[in-house]
Amino acid sequence: MSMLELLHPLLQRLRAPFATRPIERLATAIVSAIEAEYRGIVAYGLARFGKSWAVKYLTGNASWIRGPFFTARLSIPKSHKRTEGAFFSLWLARFSMALPERSTPMERMERLRNYLIAKCDEHGTDLAVIFLDEAQRLFPDDYEHLVSLDNDMTDFGYVLFVVFVVQSDFSGTAMEKIYDGNPPPHVRGRFLTRKHEFGGLNGIDEIDHALGRMDEHTEWPAGSARSYSCHFAPGAFEEGWRFRQHAAQLYQRAVRLRLEHGLSGAWTWPMKSFEVCINFLLTNIAGPRTDFSGFTDEDIDQALQASGFIELERSRGMGLVEE
């Protein structure tokens, strides 16, 4: 067993995501688009709201679509120009597939098509769901290549569905705004008709749901039936304490902190600072205390500060209270 496997998941550098209401809403939107026989959906949202976190969760869990499917994630690199076959080369590189020194764009597309079909067959399905992260970087020709790949997959009896994950508060060129511009009808109708806005956690109920995942829907070590809350606060957990009891308190302390710094009380909580905040509470406050029985206001204030909560809100330049 590696040293990494000996560490609790919340103590690892790359922590595993857990389901939240925003992730569940995204999953529902994707499934709805697939059932309506579209070939794509645009999932857009502000930076640090947890879009990549959501993609990581959805590509690592198979329960959100009824029946088997193959899924993968690709991140689109920043580029000012792209050669004819580079789009398919990007996919093939992501899937660790070597190419002959000389190959035509058509040969690369065929190789990619065959790979996707083989992966679908391995999973006993005809559906491939591919997440394209940073999709605002796509070029117009990239969409045309997707049309060709989709046509080829359909001819072989398979469905390609693409989730275009877009950062909506970037500052980019017209090329980066094709998803919000005027793409040709065959591109728009196939991939860009359905849109879904990905946001943060809204209010106490959604915070309660997320904290409840720590209480009931997590486990470590595998097979132990020991949740994350139980692991870091075993005595309190045995006495009936649950992390979700602090949902209203956590929300109210965050609102108070926002108002103190001239930010609006109407807001939605980005996953970036929320996840760091609750991780800090469990690992840095509950875990070391043998007499832990619950979080105080001071504990939560400390966790909010450690998460960079206010700094993140200010960095987005939004939510200032009007004079």
Closest by CA to 80, choosing from 166, 175, 182, 170, is 175
Helices (H), ranges, the chain = 3-6, 21-35, 51-60, 86-94, 105-122, 140-155, 185-187, 203-216, 228-232, 234-238, 247-260, 271-280, 297-306, 309-315
Higher pLDDT, 191 or 101: 191
286 has pLDDT over 60:
yes
**119-158, pLDDT tens digit by residue?**
999 999 999 999 999 998 898 889 999 999 999 999 999 9
CB burial of residue 323 (10 Å; 0-12, 13-18, 19+): exposed
Structure tokens at 161: 């569905």
Rounded Cα gap, residues 305 and 191, in angstroms: 41
84 has pLDDT over 90:
no
228 has pLDDT over 50:
yes
**23-67, pLDDT tens digit by residue?**
999 999 999 999 999 999 999 998 889 999 999 999 999 999 999
Q: For residue 28, how far is the Cα from the chain centroid?
A: 14
- Average model confidence (pLDDT) across the chain: 90
Residue 175 is predicted with a pLDDT of 46
Structure tokens at 67: 């029946």
Residue 313 is predicted with a pLDDT of 86
Closest by CA to 39, choosing from 193, 144, 196, is 193
Given pLDDT bands bounded at 50, 70 and 90, which one contains residue 5? low
Closest by CA to 281, choosing from 242, 224, 315, 312, is 242
